[in-house]
Amino acid sequence: MTILRDISFLWSMLHVLLLFLLLFKTRRSWRTTFIVTFAGAGTLLCVNVLLMFWLGHSIIMTLAFFTCTLPTLLLFFLLSEYRDGRFFFLFCLTDTVCFWLLQITNFLDRLTGDTYVVLLISRLVVFPAVEFLFWRYLRRPFMELQSKLSRGWWLFAAVGGVYYLLIMATAVPVDAPMPDMAGLLRICLVLVLMPLTYLTIFHSLWRQMKMYENSRQMELQRRNYEAVCQKMELGRIYRHDMRHHLAVLEGMLLQGDADSGLQYVHTLSNGLQELTCPAQCANAAVNAVLTAYIVQASNAGCAVETALDLPESLPFEEPDLCIVLANALENAIHACQSLPEDARRIRLELALTDNQRLIVVVQNSSLPVAFGANGLPVAAPREGHGLGLPSIQSVVNRHGGLLRCHWEDGIFTLRAVLIPPASDARPKWWGRFSAGHLPQ
């Protein structure tokens, strides 16, 4: 029956890789990543199988850190988009989850007669089930966390590393005798504390991201407030000086100088136009973003044109709207600043279709743009330019939409479509988790 044990081991090692790749952000194409992954992992698997047959199955738990973990760590580090705490946390997360599943299935087999039948069947079922849960409920929010949060991951990676060492130190190999009651208690405590700790970590990360989004939204509201206050002050000044303007007009008309009076009226009209908001739509959140960034664009010498067709209520969360509009307009302003002032043009189109799809089109004058393999522009070397596109892509992906960018004849165009969810397929506990509450 040892053949069942060996098949379960090979099956588990394959799914360690699959679980990792579900949450992995590669800097290469997925074709290259898969080729390198399965070539390198295949070599490591052959080496570990040979060691298992040569030195015994129990040797895997004692040598796995050197024969499997470290080489795999180096392999994926070279392929990873993130080379900081985000990568090491993900590596520790998937490794500890897999070792946790190995121990659980091992104990189930021991309780049912130690025949390896339950060991094989449970692993055939449990690993795909966990991968499905990761894909369905964890992948998108985790990828979003990685793209939006760049700091604070090293501490969580250290926690994951400690749990990895704890599981390796307390693990009971398949063929090894069961420990005494004290040893079993230590193992059970580690197995119980590990998922609780990871749930707490995700809770903390999600709260950090929400705080970041809220602070960004508050900044937009602050800019909107400052713009409104500035226009109110200008209006007060105009009202205060209106009697002087009327006196001047009266003098011109009494002297019969209608042409000068007309020119004076035109001058006053141009000044009054500056008191109006640069863009208006029924949705307050969109207004806040547009007011802040269109004022910023005007101050940068950009001619801004808008075409808005939005109702008061939109089927999308306000932070998502702010992320898309703020980053798109900010990138457009940065691009225009590289051009002469008379060539700076920005056009924004927003519309909600009859089937509740939000269409966002931002066009701006731009120097030629280079595009990467992912279809997005390659970020300019100066700080703060082009860095918001991954955030836009994350929002679009979460809403099952589309994002397209292209440059032609000096005009860069960003088109995004957001599709409202037909239903929320996530479990009830996820809503509480994402809102900042741990499940009871």
Write down the CATH superfamily of domain 278-421: Histidine kinase-like ATPase, C-terminal domain (3.30.565.10)
DSSP 151-193: SSHHHHHHHHHHHHHHHHHH---TTSPP--HHHHHHHHHHHHH
Residues 6 or more apart whose CB falls under 8 angstroms from that of 409 comprise: none
**What's residue 370's pLDDT?**
85
**What's residue 269's pLDDT?**
63
Report the alpha-carbon distance of residue 218 to residue 161 in Å, rounded: 36
**What's residue 1's pLDDT?**
63
Alpha-carbon distances, residue 89 vs 30, 321, 409 (angstroms): 21, 30, 44
| Residue 406 bridge partners (DSSP) | 413
**What's residue 238's pLDDT?**
61
**What's residue 322's pLDDT?**
81
Cα 242-243-246 angle, rounded to 5 deg: 85
Q: Which amino acid is at 255?
A: Q
Instruction: Centre a 10 Å sphere on the Cβ of residue 374 and count the other Cβ atoms it contains.
Output: 12
**What's residue 389's pLDDT?**
83
Report the alpha-carbon distance of residue 334 to residue 300 in Å, rounded: 9
Alpha-carbon distances, residue 275 vs 235, 267, 288, 305 (angstroms): 7, 14, 16, 17
Report the alpha-carbon distance of residue 159 to residue 144 in Å, rounded: 21
Is residue 347 a contact partner of residue 328, using CB atoms and an 8 Å limit? no
Instruction: Centre a 10 Å sphere on the Cβ of residue 331 and count the other Cβ atoms it contains.
Output: 26
Structure tokens of 108?
A: 């189930």
DSSP-derived 3-state class of residue 61: helix
Report the alpha-carbon distance of residue 417 to residue 351 in Å, rounded: 10
Report the alpha-carbon distance of residue 92 to residue 373 in Å, rounded: 29
Burial class (CB in 10 A: 0-12, 13-18, 19+), 146: buried
Q: Which amino acid is at 71?
A: P
Is residue 344 a contact partner of residue 336, using CB atoms and an 8 Å limit? yes
Q: What is the mean pLDDT of each run of 10 residues along the chain (440 residues)?
A: 79 87 88 88 80 66 72 90 92 91 89 86 93 88 80 88 86 79 87 90 80 69 63 62 68 76 70 53 77 82 89 83 87 90 92 91 91 73 55 85 91 93 47 39
**What's residue 90's pLDDT?**
93
Structure tokens of 225?
A: 């407030």
**What's residue 272's pLDDT?**
55
| Residue 305 bridge partners (DSSP) | 347
Alpha-carbon distances, residue 353 vs 146, 285, 313, 379, 414 (angstroms): 32, 19, 13, 31, 18
**What's residue 327's pLDDT?**
87
Report pTM. Answer: 0.59
DSSP-derived 3-state class of residue 43: helix
Report the alpha-carbon distance of residue 279 to residue 285 in Å, rounded: 12
Domain ranges of the chain: 2-178, 278-421
Which residue, among 202, 149, 101, 139, has the nearest Cα to 433 in the 3D structure?
202
Is residue 330 a contact partner of residue 379, using CB atoms and an 8 Å limit? no
Structure tokens of 39?
A: 């070539």
Which residue, among 71, 70, 86, has the nearest Cα to 27 in the 3D structure?
86
Which residue, among 68, 52, 88, 87, has the nearest Cα to 13 in the 3D structure?
68
Alpha-carbon distances, residue 364 vs 328, 360, 390, 436 (angstroms): 10, 13, 19, 38
Report the alpha-carbon distance of residue 205 to residue 200 in Å, rounded: 9
Is residue 416 a contact partner of residue 399, using CB atoms and an 8 Å limit? no
